Chain A
């Protein structure tokens, strides 16, 4: 095996991951706070009201980031789950399991903020349209993954079974994304795509991207922190855990 290969696998070793994540978390947390502060200021104070929707459109600054994170995190969780299933890397299962609650939280928040935005703009909190329904299914997939992982006592079997669930569920993500094109939905189409210029004012777009970045950084921070706790739980009798406790590590 080459030197590089060894370097890469180094961080899958629990103790190395634990230390590295512990050093990174404060930085990610600081960036998260800064981005949220700027994003919230721009979104709630600086950006002008929408000419059609007035101030209700400001929900976009949390609705879009939470919806995107719900989808991104699901794909990430499925990738980690697949790595854990195929190559038997335990750290990958730890990561997948650590992502799930944050992904579920963001998915719930996208549904919640969507309902509160739907009421003033569409007149209803909820419709069974393709976008909303597929997003609700995403939430159930997250909850199913977590429930399945928790329901099986044997760690390896829990990891395998829930990994399969996560991987099968990933088909739902493109369905969510393309639902507004494939079906007639009350939900509007995409305002921001990779191919075209965004169909919104620059200040709104910039603010939205800052909020998306803030949500990303928040996710990285919390997922790393949760992965560390998960790791401690699994390895609580290992020598490296004892060493770090005696060293006065927090």
Chain B
């Protein structure tokens, strides 16, 4: 296990590449989900407002 993590002494380069890639892909997906959620919230709020106006 230690051998695997050490990557023959190249661990800063190998893991520095793989982890940064994993991290950034994760950030991209989270950011997209957040953008979608806040937009959905906005559309729902507007729909509620419109429905209220129609009732009045």
| Chain A residues in the interface with B (C-beta under 8 A) | 40, 44-45, 49, 54-56, 58-59, 62-63, 66, 101-102, 105, 108-109, 112-113, 116-117, 119-120, 218, 222, 225-226, 228-229, 232-233, 236, 241-242, 245-246
A242-B47, A245-B43 known; A58 and B14 CB under 8 Å? Answer: yes
Q: Kindly provide the distance from the CB of B22 to the nearest chain A CB, expressed in whole angstroms.
A: 9
| Residues of B11-30 contacting chain A, CB below 8 A | 12-14, 16-18, 20-21, 24-25, 28-29
Dominant SS at the A interface? Answer: helix
A-B contact pairs, 23 of them (CB 8 A): A55-B7, A55-B8, A55-B9, A56-B13, A62-B17, A102-B28, A105-B28, A109-B21, A112-B21, A113-B17, A116-B12, A116-B14, A117-B17, A120-B13, A218-B25, A222-B28, A226-B32, A229-B36, A232-B43, A245-B40, A245-B43, A245-B44, A246-B47
Selected from A44, A62, A112, A222, the residue in CB contact (under 8 A) with B29 is A222
In the complex, which residues of chain A have a beta carbon less than 8 angstroms from the beta carbon of B21?
62, 66, 109, 112-113
Write the chain B residue with the least CB distance to A53: B10
Selected from B4, B7, B39, B40, the residue in CB contact (under 8 A) with A56 is B7
User: Total contacts A to B, CB within 8 angstroms?
Assistant: 82
Q: How many residues of B contact A (CB 8 A)?
A: 27
- Contact (Cβ within 8 A) B20 A225: no
In the complex, which residues of chain B have a beta carbon less than 8 angstroms from the beta carbon of A241?
43
Selected from B14, B17, B47, the residue in CB contact (under 8 A) with A112 is B17
CA distance A59 to B14 in the complex (A): 6
Interface string of B22-56 (1 = CB under 8 A from A): 00110011001001100110111011000000000
The list of the 5 closest CB pairs from A to B, nearest first, reads: A55-B8, A56-B10, A55-B7, A113-B17, A54-B8
- Contact (Cβ within 8 A) B42 A236: yes
- Contact (Cβ within 8 A) B46 A229: no
CA distance A246 to B48 in the complex (A): 11
- Contact (Cβ within 8 A) A245 B13: no
CA distance A174 to B40 in the complex (A): 41
CA distance A63 to B18 in the complex (A): 10
CA distance A56 to B7 in the complex (A): 7
In the complex, which residues of chain B have a beta carbon less than 8 angstroms from the beta carbon of A232?
36, 39-40, 43
- Contact (Cβ within 8 A) B46 A56: no
Write the chain B residue with the least CB distance to A29: B29
Question: Beyond the given A55-B7, A109-B20, A116-B17, could you list 13 further A-B residue pairs with CB under 8 A, ordered by the A residue number?
Answer: A54-B8, A56-B10, A56-B13, A58-B7, A59-B17, A62-B17, A62-B18, A113-B17, A113-B21, A116-B12, A116-B13, A117-B17, A226-B32
Q: Kindly provide the distance from the CB of B43 to the nearest chain A CB, expressed in whole angstroms.
A: 5
- Contact (Cβ within 8 A) A109 B14: no
Selected from A54, A59, A116, A233, the residue in CB contact (under 8 A) with B9 is A54
